[in-house]
A and B are shown apart, each in its own frame.
Chain A
Amino acid sequence: MMKPNTIKIFNAHGAEYARFRPANKNSKNIRMKIYKYICGFGIACMLFTSCKKDFLDRPPLTSYVDADGQYWRNEDDIRMYANGFYTNYFNGYNTSFTADYTPVRGYTFNDDLTGKNVQSNFESSVPSSRGSTSEAAAWMSQYAGPTWDFAWVRKANIFIDRMDNIAKANITDEAYRHWSAVARFFRGFEYSRLVSVFGDVPYYGRVVKESELDSLYKDRDNRGDVMDKVYDDFKFVLDNIRDDDGALFLNKTIAAAFISRFMLFEGTYEHYHSLDAARAKKYLEFAVDAANVVMGSGKYNFGSDFKALFSSENLAGNPEVLLYRKYDAALSITHCIGSYSNGTEVVGVDPNLVLAKSFIMNDGNVWEHSSEPGADDFSIANLAKTRDPRFEASFIDNANPASATLLYGYKFASREAITYIGKTYPAAWGSNTNTSDAPVIRLGEVVLNWIEAKAVLAQYYGGPSVTQADLDQSINAIRSRPLDADAIAKGVQKTAPLTLSALPDDPERDADVPALIWEIRRERRMEFVFEGFRLLDLKRWKKLQYMDFSTNPDYFLGPWVNLPVELPTALTDAAASKGNVKVKKAGGTIVTYDGTNASDMVGFWVVENAANRDGFSDKNYLSPVGQTQIDEYQDKGYTLSQTEGW
């Protein structure tokens, strides 16, 4: 007789719960056995289904949790969090077609550039709503800064909070101080940007909870109070950040360079807008000190030619560049700034005659007083040869119909790139597949921040006078940059040094700007064209009126062209040409092409239909906040003040 099969039932933990033998025919107790069988099965099922203790414990499988022991455990964790700030603050050429904070594509609203038809207008009425809580929110091109968005403030405050409350125990004191400095740098960076756009903004020095309505709904703090906090953060940064944290990571000199930018901005803004003289002085002195950190580090010099700064495939080792952004087609991280400088792509707003005329002659004089031959010849080819070498490195040296002014900016394209005009561009210089590295911050800016802060301190705040040695360390150091071989071959020459004893006497100079400061401003204009400083410079100098193109007819003109020779394709029977192509003679008469007068089409190029922007006023220095936000505060019993003038 076979041994009866045994049935065992286990629960999830493997304990044996019941053991049965199927009943044999002879048993009187079939019924009882079946009961036992059934009960055992039922109980086993119940236990099986419920007894697993942690059945409901399902923590996230693929995310870090912001909590002690789960993150902020070591420097690697902290570095990964800090990495999240880089692309927001060190935009370089941004990526793909994104124009935010990019030269050429993004920074197009200023007095250097003129487009066809009516120039883009200043904001004229309070927007119905303004702001975001997204880290990905787009910038506001008209203010060259962020919208009403505190996401990055919160991100930095969380960083600072977790450093103090979690990470501090897990890392060395040196590391704690360094990363706290990194966090404060980014908080200061964000508030500097917010203040440049809105002026007064509510300041948050810590993470605010959703329940703290009095804090969340507080009114805007005075911009000086905010910038004092930024000043303190930046002081902390320079005292605690590492001198070197590895290539392409934020360090003391990079931070100092940015600090010189923001402190110069706020110092001059406070000064020229007559806000708070004590603060102006404090910020400007810090701008000088911060710049000194960079200039005194001995790590950087002007050993690179100008063109290589903006169009090199690799900026590693470039002695002028403190921080750059890398691009790599293989990683699908590419940009479009090269292609918008390639001689074919249309940008829409292009360098005007006012900008061209502001370039200094290479003898160091303004064109009106230069004895050089061709000083008053504004043909493109002559300008390229006789002006500061940065002219030739920034603009194509012949008339280019892709530009509304015929003067085409190619600062961010290599010399090779424009050889493809009329052909198919390689990926490096066409579409959004460009891979040239972007300088994020460079010594050229630092020395110009430094000399301007010093000059303003000397002029208005009893600071030490600017010496010739100061100029030699800054403006003249820039002017002595080497020229690249192609520029030399074209006959481009370095510009003579600026001397205190013989400052140019520019007839265009504003009466309220001393000659030295005027020349410092000119140097910035030549150095930074397309790079995004111009609008913010006008704002801090309180010179937004330059954006009113009615003050100078040259705003609507390009350089001098001999159309039948330089650009015969502009003179055709097509409707776009006949009746539309115009030049302005030296005497001021405008000649319109009528199909027969080609030989007379020599003069300053007239930008098609160009007209001034609508009127604007001092309110346009700062952005309004949204009406919805004002209403929302009121609805909750709080007040959000509108920006002055709006």
Chain B
Amino acid sequence: MGVRTYDPYDYMIKEWAPTQQHNISVGQTLNKTTYNIGLGYLDQSGMIKPAKKDDFTRYNASLRLSNEINKYITVRAGAMYSRRNKEYPYVTSSTTADPWLYLYRWGSLYPFGNDENGDPIRSPVSEAGAANTANILQNYMNVNAGATLNFTRNWTFDFDYTFSNQEEIWNRPGTRYTARNSWVAPKARVDDNGGPIYVDSTGNVVSATAPGAMPAFDLSYDTYTSLGANPDHIYRRTTNFHSSTINAYTTYNLNLKDDHRFKFMLGINRVAAQTEWQSQQVNQLTDIHNPEFSFAVGSPPIVDGDKFWESQLGYFGRINYAFKDKYLIEGNLRYDGSSKFPRDLWWRWYPSVSAGWVISKENFMLSQDVVSFFKIRGSWGTIGDQTVPNTLYLPLMSSGLSSWIGANGSRAVTVGTPPAIVNNITWQDIQTKNLGVDLAFFENKLSVTFDLFQRNTRNMIVPSEGIPYTFGTGAPQGNFGSLRTNGWELTVEFNHRFKNGLGVNFRGNISDAKTHILEYGTSTGVNSYYNGKDIGEIWGYRTDRLYQASDFELGPDGNPQLITLTADDVPEEYAGKKANQLKPGAHGEKPVYQVFLQNSSNFFFGPGDVKFKDLNGDGVIDNGSATLDDHGDLAVIGNSTPRYEYGFRIGADYKGVDISLFFQGVGSRQIWGDGFLAIPGYNSADGAMPAAIADNYWTPDNTNAFYPAAYNNAGSNSANNIQVQDRYLLNMAYLRLKNLTVGYSFSPDLLRKVGVNSFRVYGALENFITWDHLRGLPIDPEAINGYSMWNTSNYNLGRTGIGTPAFKSISIGVQLNF
């Protein structure tokens, strides 16, 4: 090896990963019996190139049967099974720093691949190659049985019972890594007598006196995973989940003179679910190539487990009334109970009503043929939400083993501190108001649907607001919050077939919703959840530009002069701080100092650094007291909620050839990034830096740069130059061609002769083109920071853009129906 640049992408990522998928379904109705059989298979290869195995397979099978015993009774039953298996290289047990983080973390001099001895060099690639294969196997099964009873023509009763069972087995066979260790100093290569060996620049051994000869060094060939350290272990975790669900309801239809149609319904939903898991881990493998529990000797084994259960029960009644199918009214009443709340707060009533008017059925609309359907509808209702853990209302004390070893030689058992709780936690109420219009024109060729809605979440379960550190534990959760979401949604659809056989279709939808806090607490801090706050809003500074040398009073050496500010320069609280002396304004105005934003002891704003706008005109840049009344120079500079989400599909077919394009995008979204792919100078110890930053930062020779002068922020994403500000806010709006499909269907006439109903071949491209505003930063605008299948909030430390890259895929398929 030598010092050169490496492209980790080449080493790590498989450009072509085949996927195959087969589905067969058979169904038939014989006399009064209907059956349906479905079989499916999916095999998807992953993209980690050096891995022994990286794939996902799924098998599924289903059977549905129903039989009409007589005119009164129909019975049905079914079963479904699926087996999903994800195999991947088990590189580490960590989910906050996995190979994808390290792949992007270091500079391009960081060596990958093998050295000249043919040994792998320690890197995410060597580890992914040496890692054994972990797998997550999920077996899902459900059986269901039910019946429909027809008491009379108008009165029916339905009953369905489902039992589902899922087991998940997660095997993590570890290993110990051996590689040329690039993390420690190389060792001198010596001959038999201990003398140095010399090489030339191509690595060939030469004599010490040869031109260009240099002493040879080798990276140390080490087993650098110490005994029992991650991932030198075997781990297995099994999770069992099962649930029983019953849905039963009875319906009675009543028609009076055909003008008045009533429908009455009464029913019940009942769910009980339980989850149990257990894990075992034994450290220190004796056979790293075949990690099994019998080949691991670490003592004692690490065993853990837990179980949870919950249940819900609900009763409901509904009345529908329609007058001549023009005026529609519906009323609902639910009575819901949940195990997640204290006994006296289990139950709650939830009413809802809706009404509709089909204007197109009115006589005055029948005489025209432009509008084929026109309906106005509105609804109001409340439903309960209980998606919270089962025991929030109880002060639980978890037990475990301490790292304190008792005199008897075993770890002390500890029972932890009970959390602060609010013991009257109950249902969260979601109240929705909706107003909608459905319109269709020209015999339904063009249809438009528009909805306007408001959703209030009342009694939202959130931590109590404004609890200071002196409380000594996290604020207890209770039904303290209230949110309001206002939104709208528009869908337009158009289908047309020209006389020459060309068919075109379009379907597009766009929606937007904005949520703000109705009530929570009394805080007015801009970074707290103050009442009225828009969810996702980002407070930051407005950037003016980058400072240039001409902004500063330069000393005789041509450099800015560090001075100690006095109360004449800045408000009292900043007097005594040091700053580079600024020139007064063109008309003698006092310069605006930014000492409040000098977060590192050796950082002073100078040429090439960011100049912020003094929004409140007080002659200094700061955040006031960061409250609504006094937020200094902070302003709302963006919002991380995706707004104006849209998607549209355009399709056409002609003589068996079909083509469709599906686009998806977000109209507006900003985030403040984190990590080395988004923040210039994030951490000099991490070498990697996107070219978009490395090629465009301020130097005395490149004063027009986008990014400021180089400074190491030592792992902070909001310090010194890189305060949260509009200039470096990431614009996450994008438009992506999610899918492009071209297909050809063979002529039915031809197929009938060979007993085939339809036969279509197609090719598809996924995710091939993306338009974004990220200025060349290697960040996927669709991905969410810190989220992966391993860790849903702090994956790879929540750094922006660091995760499994989005797939671009090409697929080819065949669809055959008999």
Chain B binds chain A: yes
In the complex, per-residue mask of B699-731: 1 if CB is within 8 Å of any chain A CB, else 0: 000000000000000000000000000000000
- Which residue of chain A has the shortest Cβ distance to B246 in the bound complex? A49
Q: Report how far A343 CA is from B805 CA in the complex, Å.
A: 45
Q: Report how far A248 CA is from B409 CA in the complex, Å.
A: 11
Task: Return chain A residues, CB-CB under 8 Å to B411.
Answer: 331, 333
- Say whether B806 faces chain A, with CB atoms less than 8 Å apart: no
Task: Return chain A residues, CB-CB under 8 Å to B204.
Answer: none
Q: Report how far A536 CA is from B152 CA in the complex, Å.
A: 89
Q: Report how far A61 CA is from B391 CA in the complex, Å.
A: 10
Closest approach, in angstroms, between the C-beta of A553 and any C-beta of chain B? Answer: 24
- Say whether B452 faces chain A, with CB atoms less than 8 Å apart: no
Contact A55 B272 (CB under 8 A): yes
Contact A636 B466 (CB under 8 A): yes
Q: Report how far A75 CA is from B470 CA in the complex, Å.
A: 30
Given A150-B469, A210-B476, A631-B525: A60 and B396 interface contact (C-beta under 8 Å): yes
Given A58-B309, A204-B470: A636 and B626 interface contact (C-beta under 8 Å): no
In the complex, per-residue mask of A58-95: 1 if CB is within 8 Å of any chain B CB, else 0: 11111111110001000001001101101100100001
- Select A49's contact among B248, B339, B522, beta carbons within 8 Å: B248
Binds A, one of B235-243, B398-406, B671-679, B757-765: B398-406
Q: Report how far A125 CA is from B397 CA in the complex, Å.
A: 39
Contact B475 A154 (CB under 8 A): no
- Say whether A514 faces chain B, with CB atoms less than 8 Å apart: no
Contact A84 B470 (CB under 8 A): no
Contact A65 B396 (CB under 8 A): yes
Q: Which of B454-490 contact A (CB under 8 A)?
A: 464, 466-476
- Say whether A505 faces chain B, with CB atoms less than 8 Å apart: no
Contact B415 A71 (CB under 8 A): yes
Task: Return chain A residues, CB-CB under 8 Å to B407.
Answer: 246-249, 316
Q: Report how far A202 CA is from B415 CA in the complex, Å.
A: 27
Contact B469 A63 (CB under 8 A): no
Contact A90 B307 (CB under 8 A): no
Contact A50 B469 (CB under 8 A): no
Task: Return chain B residues, CB-CB under 8 Å to A325.
Answer: 404-405
Task: Return chain A residues, CB-CB under 8 Å to B404.
Answer: 83, 86-87, 90, 325
Q: Count of chain B residues with Cβ under 8 Å from any Cβ of A?
A: 82
Task: Return chain A residues, CB-CB under 8 Å to B149.
Answer: 38, 41-42
- Say whether A347 faces chain B, with CB atoms less than 8 Å apart: no
Task: Return chain A residues, CB-CB under 8 Å to B412.
Answer: 83, 86
- Say whether A243 faces chain B, with CB atoms less than 8 Å apart: no
- Say whether B27 faces chain A, with CB atoms less than 8 Å apart: no
- Say whether A148 faces chain B, with CB atoms less than 8 Å apart: yes
- Say whether B417 faces chain A, with CB atoms less than 8 Å apart: yes
Task: Return chain B residues, CB-CB under 8 Å to A150.
Answer: 469-472
- Select A248's contact among B310, B391, B398, B406, beta carbons within 8 Å: B406
Q: Report how far A585 CA is from B242 CA in the complex, Å.
A: 80
In the complex, per-residue mask of A306-327: 1 if CB is within 8 Å of any chain B CB, else 0: 0000000000100000000111
Task: Return chain B residues, CB-CB under 8 Å to A154.
Answer: 417, 471-473
Q: Which of B146-179 contact A (CB under 8 A)?
A: 147, 149, 151, 157, 159
Closest approach, in angstroms, between the C-beta of B116 and any C-beta of chain A? Answer: 24
Contact A56 B397 (CB under 8 A): no
Task: Return chain A residues, CB-CB under 8 Å to B522.
Answer: 636
- Say whether A158 faces chain B, with CB atoms less than 8 Å apart: yes
Binds B, one of A131-139, A266-274, A451-459, A563-571: A131-139
- Say whether A629 faces chain B, with CB atoms less than 8 Å apart: yes
Q: Which of A200-225 contact B (CB under 8 A)?
A: 202, 204, 208, 210, 213, 216-218
Q: Report how far A49 CA is from B161 CA in the complex, Å.
A: 10
Contact B523 A60 (CB under 8 A): no
Task: Return chain B residues, CB-CB under 8 Å to A55.
Answer: 270, 272, 311, 313
Task: Return chain B residues, CB-CB under 8 Å to A210.
Answer: 420, 422, 464, 467, 471, 475-476
Closest approach, in angstroms, between the C-beta of A130 and any C-beta of chain B? Answer: 9
In the complex, per-residue mask of B262-294: 1 if CB is within 8 Å of any chain A CB, else 0: 000000101010000000000100000000000
- Say whether A449 faces chain B, with CB atoms less than 8 Å apart: no
- Say whether B22 faces chain A, with CB atoms less than 8 Å apart: no
Given A246-B407, A328-B409, A635-B627: A45 and B159 interface contact (C-beta under 8 Å): yes
Q: Report how far A60 CA is from B399 CA in the complex, Å.
A: 13
Contact B399 A80 (CB under 8 A): yes
Contact A631 B627 (CB under 8 A): yes
Q: Report how far A67 CA is from B283 CA in the complex, Å.
A: 38
Given A150-B471, A327-B405: A66 and B418 interface contact (C-beta under 8 Å): yes
Given A65-B395, A248-B407: A635 and B525 interface contact (C-beta under 8 Å): yes
Q: Report how far A450 CA is from B617 CA in the complex, Å.
A: 61
- Select B339's contact among A58, A155, A635, beta carbons within 8 Å: A58
Q: Count of chain A residues with Cβ under 8 Å from any Cβ of B?
A: 82
Task: Return chain A residues, CB-CB under 8 Å to B396.
Answer: 60, 63-66
Closest approach, in angstroms, between the C-beta of B215 and any C-beta of chain A? Answer: 12
Closest approach, in angstroms, between the C-beta of A314 and any C-beta of chain B? Answer: 11
In the complex, per-residue mask of B220-233: 1 if CB is within 8 Å of any chain A CB, else 0: 00000011100000
Given A90-B404, A95-B403: A330 and B469 interface contact (C-beta under 8 Å): no
Contact B248 A56 (CB under 8 A): no
- Select B395's contact among A67, A155, A246, beta carbons within 8 Å: A67
Q: Which of B415-470 contact A (CB under 8 A)?
A: 415-418, 420, 422, 464, 466-470
Q: Report how far A629 CA is from B471 CA in the complex, Å.
A: 13
Closest approach, in angstroms, between the C-beta of A16 and any C-beta of chain B? Answer: 20
- Say whether B413 faces chain A, with CB atoms less than 8 Å apart: yes
- Say whether A124 faces chain B, with CB atoms less than 8 Å apart: yes
Closest approach, in angstroms, between the C-beta of A426 and any C-beta of chain B? Answer: 11
Q: Report how far A586 CA is from B409 CA in the complex, Å.
A: 54
Task: Return chain B residues, CB-CB under 8 Å to A95.
Answer: 403
Contact B468 A633 (CB under 8 A): yes
- Say whether B367 faces chain A, with CB atoms less than 8 Å apart: no
Q: Report how far A83 CA is from B406 CA in the complex, Å.
A: 10
Q: Which of B309-329 contact A (CB under 8 A)?
A: 309-313, 315
- Select A60's contact among B390, B402, B476, beta carbons within 8 Å: B390
- Say whether A632 faces chain B, with CB atoms less than 8 Å apart: yes
Task: Return chain B residues, CB-CB under 8 Å to A80.
Answer: 399, 413-415
Given A325-B404, A331-B411: A58 and B418 interface contact (C-beta under 8 Å): no
Q: Report how far A64 CA is from B396 CA in the complex, Å.
A: 6
Which of B313, B397, B466, B474 neighbours the largest number of chain A CB atoms within 10 Å of its CB? B397
Q: Which of A592-646 contact B (CB under 8 A)?
A: 614, 628-629, 631-636
Contact B415 A61 (CB under 8 A): no
In the complex, per-residue mask of A7-48: 1 if CB is within 8 Å of any chain B CB, else 0: 000000000000000000000000000110010011001101
Given A121-B601, A124-B601: A60 and B391 interface contact (C-beta under 8 Å): yes
- Say whether A57 faces chain B, with CB atoms less than 8 Å apart: yes
- Which residue of chain A has the shortest Cβ distance to B298 in the bound complex? A332
Q: Report how far A254 CA is from B283 CA in the complex, Å.
A: 36
- Which residue of chain A has the shortest Cβ distance to B270 in the bound complex? A49
Closest approach, in angstroms, between the C-beta of A533 and any C-beta of chain B? Answer: 23
- Select A62's contact among B300, B307, B416, B625, beta carbons within 8 Å: B307
Given A49-B248, A328-B409, A635-B525: A133 and B397 interface contact (C-beta under 8 Å): no
Q: Which of B72-96 contact A (CB under 8 A)?
A: 72-73
Task: Return chain A residues, CB-CB under 8 Å to B524.
Answer: 635
Which of A61, A153, A427 neighbours the largest number of chain B CB atoms within 10 Å of its CB? A61
- Say whether B338 faces chain A, with CB atoms less than 8 Å apart: yes
Q: Report how far A291 CA is from B403 CA in the complex, Å.
A: 29
- Select B151's contact among A38, A151, A249, A427, beta carbons within 8 Å: A38
Can you list the 9 inter-chain pairs with the closest CB atoms, starting with the nearest?
A154-B472, A247-B407, A66-B418, A150-B472, A326-B405, A58-B339, A131-B469, A63-B396, A66-B395
Interchain residue pairs with CB less than 8 A apart (8): A46-B268, A49-B313, A50-B268, A56-B338, A150-B469, A151-B472, A154-B417, A333-B411
Given contacts A216-B467, A217-B470, A635-B625, 18 further A-B contacts (CB under 8 A): A56-B339, A57-B343, A58-B310, A64-B397, A66-B397, A71-B397, A87-B404, A95-B403, A210-B420, A217-B468, A331-B411, A332-B228, A333-B405, A614-B601, A631-B626, A631-B627, A632-B523, A636-B522
